[in-house]
Structure 1
Amino acid sequence: MRAEDILPDDVDTGEFASTVIRKGTVAAFLANAATFSDPGAASAARAIAEHHILEAVPALRALGLFDVMEVRDPNLRHWIADWTGVGRSEG
């Protein structure tokens, strides 16, 4: 499967698991994760990245991203879990 099989070039959003998701959501999450993990990032930039990460989590969950991948940065992984419950072990 290719990206255009999911969302053609002329389509900017799709509905997955009853959630409307914009094209670019995963790329934006990765950019914000890089800012979050950058020790040299300004506190204002990090705060904006944190806000956008939390906004993206429901879409990423609807896409099934967290079912097949784990956030490698332990600080980011734990921070997401603390705020959203994503990535917490059950049992």
Structure 2
Amino acid sequence: MKAEELLPDNQNQVTINGQEIRKGSIGAFLLNCKTVINLDKNSNEYKTAMSNIKEQALLLEKIGLFEVFEVKIPEIREALINS
């Protein structure tokens, strides 16, 4: 399946396993994950990114992303386990 078959250009969201997913959800999750790698854990930017990661992860878990992909960044993996 190609991306445009799942979510055509004229459509901004899709429902998977009863969960509405907006275009860009997985990309935003990945960018937030990459962002926290180089940030001071006490910074507001780090805390905001981690908050976004946890919120996005709940959605991505519901569609089964973590059944096929493992989070390798230890602090993110730990945060997801504890949330």
What TM-score do you get using the length of structure 1 for normalisation? 0.81
Q: Please state how far the C-alpha of 1:39 moved relative to its aligned partner.
A: 3.8
The answer for unaligned runs of 5 or more in structure 2 is none
Q: 1:29 maps to what in 2? A: 29
CA deviation profile, 1:28-79 (whole Å, cap 9, x unmatched): 0011001222245771111111111111112211221100010011121111
The answer for unaligned runs of 5 or more in structure 1 is 84-91
CA distance in 1 between partners of 2:34 and 2:5 (Å)? 28
CA distance in 2 between partners of 1:54 and 1:76 (Å)? 9
Aligned length, in residue pairs: 83
Q: Which runs of at least 4 in structure 1 moved beyond 2 Å after TM superposition?
A: 39-42
Contact 1:35-1:41 at 8 Å conserved across structures: no
1:39–1:61 distance in 2 versus 1, CA, 3 Å:
same
What TM-score do you get using the length of structure 2 for normalisation? 0.88
1:53–1:75 distance in 2 versus 1, CA, 3 Å:
same
Q: 2:72 maps to what in 1? A: 72
Contact 1:36-1:50 at 8 Å conserved across structures: yes
